[in-house]
Structures are given as C-alpha cells and as structure tokens.
Structure 1
Amino acid sequence: MQTHELIAHTAYPPLEVTKVQSRIIGYDADWLRLRWRIEGSGKLVVPPFAGRGRADELWRTTCFELFLMPSGGDAYSELNLSPSERWNAYDFSDYRDGMTERPASREPNCTMRQGGSFAIFDAAVPASVIPKANCAMNLTCVLEEESGIKSFWALKHVKDQPDFHDPACFAAELAAPTAT
C-alpha cells in the first residue's frame, strides 16, 4: 500500500519531530489497518492508557485521525484514534456541520510502540465504521511534545490555521475494500 508523507502546519512547528508517514497497510471486509510512523519522537507526549472506549476531544493531545468523504457529496466521516486506546467516530452532513456519532459494531484496536528515535502507531478499525464507497481521504495527526508544544500534520494544509475538515485537504483516495 502507498505511504503518505504528512506535512506539519507551518503555524505550529514541532519541537523534535522531523517526519511523519502514514499508510493503509490493509483493508478487507473486516478491518482497515493503518500505520503512522513518527521520526524524532524523543519528546513525544503519549496519553496514558485509558482502555478502549469512546471519548471526545482526543485531539487535545497526541491523536491520530482519518477523514473520509464518499464520492458525490459533501458528507464525510472523522475517526479519532488515541494511543490511550480511546477512540471516536463522527459523521458530518457538510463542512463542520451536522455532527453525529458514527455507529460501530466493534471498537478499534490501537497500539503505540516507541523505539529510540521513532514511534509507530497502529490502528485496526472495524470495516463497519468505514463508508462502503470509494472515498477522498485525509490522514492526519496532532502530536504533542514536551512543554505543551503541538504540531498538526496532514496530507495537505490550505489555510493559515490547521483545518483537517477542509475538503481541499482530502488529498488521497481510499478504494472500497478487497474481498477476503
């Protein structure tokens, strides 16, 4: 699968993080598997373990996100995945409008590994949470480092302030899953 280089928003430079890559490592009828690799993660703040369960405002600290917009409309979905194992999924009827919690048949599996100068965050999201159509996609993350420094990483930034919801930032494609 394709690896995507994420870009830090220039208004919020990182402390020591030098590079973030994200990729879809598998997608079938059961799971969408994603991976983020963070280079220069020595001062990364990782939220403490909280166990699986939905939670809001995960983006206030280190959090990994996926935005999906099915072809032919303005509606889109947002998934928030935390190293704490907390998560949430939302549907929007239009740009930042009509937010509702997206149903999920199972909870995602999230794991964070740190080693030396890099960290890897893996997430397995139940396919039932993912729109069934081909989608425009934005892979993103908020990375908090020591002293409360936050950087905002995405496939593309188009505004003076970070805005992962902007349709112009949905710069990749996610095809419908392969059969198992």
Structure 2
Amino acid sequence: MQVSLKPHPSSPPGPIESLEVMLEPEGSQLWLRFTVDGRTESVVWPRPAEGRADDLWRTTCFEAFVLADDGYVEFNLSPSGRWASYRFDAPRRGMRHAEVTPTPPKLNAGADRTALETLLTLPPGAARLGLSAVIEATDGTISYWALAHPSDKPDFHHPDSFVLELP
C-alpha cells in the first residue's frame, strides 16, 4: 500500500514537493519506505551514526505511531541510521523506552529523491497506525508532515492521527 503525507497547514513552504510512504505488513512486522521528492539538497540530512538516540525529531526524522494494547508505540527513524522507540500509556503520558525496536533505518539518496527504509516489529495488539515526518530545511525552517493533522498545531501524538487500520 502507498500513502501520502501532507504538510501541516502552519508549516512554512520548503524544499519538499511530496512525501510518500510504502508499507507492507509482514507477519508481526511492518516494512516502511518513506520517499521524499523535491529539492533534497536543501534538506538537513543528519550525519551517519548508529544505535538508539533520543531527540531525533529535532531535525529531519521519520516517524511511525502504532496504537496497541494499553497505549501506543512511537518509532523515530533518523536518516543518520539512528532510531528510537517509546511506549506511551496515553497521549504524551507514561513515556518509556519500548522493548520493540526497528531495524536500523537505511537511507538511499538521489538527485531529487531520497528514501528511508526500515522494518518495524509491531507491538502486541497493534491496531492502528499514524505516519509522520519532520523535515528541516537548510535555511532552518521546519515542516511537519503526517497522514492527518487533527489539531491547529502539529501533534503526531493526537489520537486522531492514527488513521490507518493494521491487519
């Protein structure tokens, strides 16, 4: 399946023309490929690194939110290769490191298209999915992309952002 993310109405114009996500469930896992089209040379791409890290969303980062039993899991996927996963009991409450982890994200860059690919292990009871991205431009502006923007400010944790049903 392929879906399109859209920028939040309050996001400034930036170098990105479109952001598509291919997704495919594979048993208890979910394969994701985020593809960014536009002036990708004008996007801040974090330097290569490895392992779990916090605050990845402060610059260009791709995210998946999975509604599951007793809360949800947030996956942060940096183009650097770093990642994070957090478990929440309710929107922005009870945050802790999640036991489920993604495969390290891999970046594939081209002249006007860049893609990030990963495989997530879904938490028990995974039911709904929200997809989003933070895109930082080299001029310092930040745009917020998601499947749905249910509030007047960018809020990827909003329950109405989890719009895709998982099989």
2:76 aligned with 1:80: yes
Q: Is 1:60 paired with 2:58?
A: yes
Instruction: Please list the CA deviations of residues 61-105 of structure 1 after superposition, one character each: whole Å capped at 9, or x if unmatched.
Output: 11110001126x5x111011111111111111111101111014x
Q: Secondary structure in 2 aligned to 1:42? A: helix
Match of 2:94 in 1: 98
Give, in whole Å, the separation in 1 of the partners of 2:61 and 2:150.
21
The aligned residue for residue 27 of structure 1 is 26
User: Of residues 104, 117, 121 in structure 2, which corresponds to 1:122?
Assistant: 117
Q: CA deviation at 1:3?
A: 0.6
1:10 is matched with which residue?
9
Range 159-168 or range 10-19, more displaced: 10-19
Q: The residue matched to 1:133 in structure 2 has which SS?
A: coil
User: 1:34, 1:107 → 2: CA distance?
Assistant: 10
Q: Report the equivalent of 1:69.
A: 67
Alpha-carbon distance in 1 for matches of 2:102, 2:19: 25
- TM-score with structure 2 setting the length: 0.92
The one-letter code sitting in structure 1 at the alignment partner of 2:31 is R
Change (3 A) 1:25 1:107: closer
Amino acid of the residue matched to residue 43 of structure 2? Answer: L
Match of 2:127 in 1: 135
Equivalent residue of 2:9, what SS?
Answer: coil
How far apart, in 1, do the equivalents of 2:13 and 2:109 lie?
18
Summarize the Cα distance change of 1:151–1:88 in structure 2 as closer, same or farther, 3 Å threshold: same
Rounded to whole Å, the distance in 2 between the matches of 1:61 and 1:144 is 6
Q: Deviations over 1:48-70 (max 9, x none)?
A: 0112x111110001111000112
Q: Does the 8 Å contact 1:134/1:173 carry over to 2?
A: no
- Shift in Å at residue 155 of structure 1? 0.4
* Cα deviation code 1:81-132 (max 9, x no counterpart): 111111111111111101111014x65221111112111111123x2xx213
**With structure 1 as the length reference, what TM-score do the two structures score?**
0.86
Moved >3 Å (runs of 4+) = none
After superposition, residues 142-157 of structure 1 pair within 5 angstroms as 142-157=134-149
Which residue is 1:112 aligned to? Answer: 107
Structure 1 gaps of 5+ residues are 176-180
**CA offsets 1:125-174 (integer angstroms, 9 cap, x no match):** 3x2xx213241110111111111111111000011110000001111122
Identical counterparts, % of pairs: 35
Aligned residues: 166
Across the aligned residues of Structure 1 and Structure 2, the Cα RMSD in angstroms comes to: 1.6
Matched residue SS, 1:59: helix
CA distance in 2: counterparts of 1:19 and 1:83, whole angstroms: 17
Query: Which AA in structure 2 matches 1:23?
Result: M
Report deviation, 1:26. 4.4
**Mapped contact 1:65–1:140 kept (Cα < 8 A):** yes
